[in-house]
Amino acid sequence: MQRNVGGLDRIVRGVLGIWLVVMAAAAYQDDKRERAAIAGIAGLGLLQNVWMGFCGGNYLLGVDTTEDSCAAK
């Protein structure tokens, strides 16, 4: 897998991922388990994108936000 997530995209995904995981924990405490599961899965998915530097959606759409791709264009 080649990295296709970088720069500001990676920061935004990290912040949004952390926020969704926190919201999932809050929803779980309020007994809103379905909402907690959805937010938790979405948040962990975004954090996985940040950690790996790869997004399958970006790959399918041909989007590359790494610094190397911007310099080459």
Q: Which domain holds residue 14?
A: 7-61
Q: Would the pLDDT of 73 be above 90? A: no
Tell me if 66 is assigned to some domain.
no
Q: Would the pLDDT of 29 be above 80? A: yes
Tell me if 72 is assigned to some domain.
no
Q: What is the pLDDT of residues 41-68, one digit of tens each?
A: 999 999 999 999 999 999 999 999 998 7
| Confidence class for position 23, pLDDT limits 50, 70, 90 | very high
Tell me if 2 is assigned to some domain.
no
Tell me if 39 is assigned to some domain.
yes
> What's the burial of 16, exposed, middle or buried (CB within 10 Å: 0-12/13-18/19+)?
middle
